[in-house]
Amino acid sequence: MNIALNEMMETIRMVEIENLDIRTVTMGISLRDCADSDFEKMNKRVYEKITTYAKDLKETAEKASKEFGIPIINKRISITPIAEILGNATKEQAIELAKTLDKAAKTLGVDFIGGYSALVHKGISKGDQTLLDALPEALSVTERVCSSISVGTTRAGINMDAVRQMGIIMKDAAERTKDQNGLACAKLVVFCNPVEDNPFMAGAFHGSGEGEVVLSVGVSGPGVVLNALKRYPDADLGEVADIIKKTAFKITRAGELVGREVAKRLEVPFGIMDLSLAPTNALNDSVAEILEEIGLERVGTHGTIAALALMNDAVKKGGAMASSYVGGLSGAFIPVSEDNGMIRGIEDNALTLSKLEAMTCVCSVGLDMIALTGNVSAATLSAIIADEAAIGMINKKTTAVRVIPVPGKEEGEMVEFGGLLGRAPVMGVNPFSSEKMIRRGGRIPAPLQSLIN
């Protein structure tokens, strides 16, 4: 990959002024050969394999970051969905394995390890159920373990029995960490159509179609896009799309250059480049502010979905031209707690839960890092998951729910989660019940779109 001098100078400006960073380098590791009917042997193999493959991940990423002058914010690991190797393990053993994963992450100095996961979109196996039973406690007694559960796909439909369980699990996990504002739920995401190569947490896992080990990169640059648009205040919307597309191209080039170098030094294959614009609470590092720069007085007002669709499409077009290995989620994240513009939109009553849900039809993922009132019922949480899964299923896209029912908090209060997770205003939910629908269970059949063979 040849980088011209003018590209280098632009990259320096993007880093120093516009908050360009590589949000994560994530090493995916297959644990399928660690499965064993003897739990103690399996537990030991899991720890040894992770700490062997990723022993130099943090140090190598930090050295590359210094040499190239581009911050790498997170070093992460994704693993085979743990439910696939649990076999006949008990709930207590599944919790013990979560502690082992947490220990490995701390030993290696990585920020998160994802893949304490289960794929239950069509049915729930014995290992899947063991993991689901262990999930609330496992997430509450660990710091760096992240979990994702697939409850639906376009090809399979939506497993409403799993959806029902997830509402209960979220409530339980939140209560177990009520002294931390329900923080365990910030490490749990429920998917429809999950991807196998996502480097972002909490949804990362190492899919069955992946190799033994791989390194993927998630780059982020809302601040770069925002500053680019500020230079063209009178551009029409076609020109706005072109500006975003060209900016995404530059961001991707810089990120892939560093990612490939880290992979080369670790002697592992380079996987994919995830183009997602992931905001932070830093000044001017906001997806919502990009939408407002396009012309919205406040994010959430009429026109928000059109502006978001324009931006998301332009990011993908620009990134796809810059890299041959685009993957992951690749689009725009709209996590409320991590985006100052989103927070402001809610505080000004411009942005509602229903509008956020509508925005997920055209954004990268779904309802992300949203604080809900502590008295929200498990059935309502399940219904929120079902709605989001339906959007993903019908539109053949990835959608997800990562919401936090904050124990003891009411609508309008502000809660702090700390670090990259930020802070969020507590949002209310529709007061009418969905209990009967959720209690029915069963499966929502796959849509006609699934018949593509």
The answer on 153 and 36 residing in a single domain is yes
Residue 101 lies in a domain: yes
Claim to verify: residue 186 and residue 251 sit in the same structural domain: no
Residues 161 and 234 both lie in one domain: no
Residue 161 and residue 257 share a domain:
no
Task: Indicate the pTM of the whole model.
Answer: 0.92
Q: What is the pLDDT of residue 73?
A: 85
Residue 271 lies in domain: 217-445
Asked if residue 118 is part of any domain, the answer here is yes
Based on the fold, state whether residues 253 and 381 are members of the same structural domain: yes
* Predicted pLDDT of residue 219: 83
Q: What is the tens place of the pLDDT at every residue in 328-366? A: 888 788 889 988 999 999 999 999 999 999 999 998 788
Q: Is residue 13 part of a domain?
A: no
Task: For residues 78 and 225, state if they share a domain.
Answer: no
Predicted local distance difference test score (pLDDT) of residue 17: 45
Low-confidence residues in the chain, pLDDT < 70: 1-19, 283
Q: Give pLDDT, residue 4.
A: 52
The CATH number of the domain holding residue 181 is: 3.20.70.20
- Say whether both 307 and 225 belong to one domain: yes
Percent with pLDDT over 90 in the chain: 70
Residue 72: predicted pLDDT: 86
Return the HEC string of the chain.
Answer: CCCCHHHHHHHHHHHHHHCCEEEEEEEEECCHHHCCCCHHHHHHHHHHHHHHHCCCHHHHHHHHHHHHCCCEEEEEEEECCCHHHHCCCCHHHHHHHHHHHHHHHHHHCCCEEECCCEECCCCCCHHHHHHHHHHHHHHHCCCCEEEEEEEEECCCEEEHHHHHHHHHHHHHHHHHCHHHCCHHHHHEEEEECCCCCCCCCCCCCCCCCCCCEEEEEEEECHHHHHHHHHCCCCCCHHHHHHHHHHHHHHHHHHHHHHHHHHHHHHCCCEEEEECCECCCCCCCCCHHHHHHHHCCCCCCCCCHHHHHHHHHHHHHHHHHHHCCCECCCCCECCEHHHCHHHHHHHHCCCCCHHHHHHHCCCCCCCEEEEEECCCCCHHHHHHHHHHHHHHHHHHCCCEEEEEEECCCCCCCCEEECCHHHCEEECECCCCCCCHHHHHHCCEECCCHHHCCC
230 and 370 housed in the same domain: yes
Whether 346 and 420 map to the same domain: the answer is yes
Q: Is residue 8 part of a domain?
A: no
Question: Which of 175, 192, 209 lies at the terminal end of a domain, its last residue?
Answer: 192
Q: How many domains does the chain have?
A: 2
**141 in the same domain as 37:** yes
| 66 domain-assigned | yes
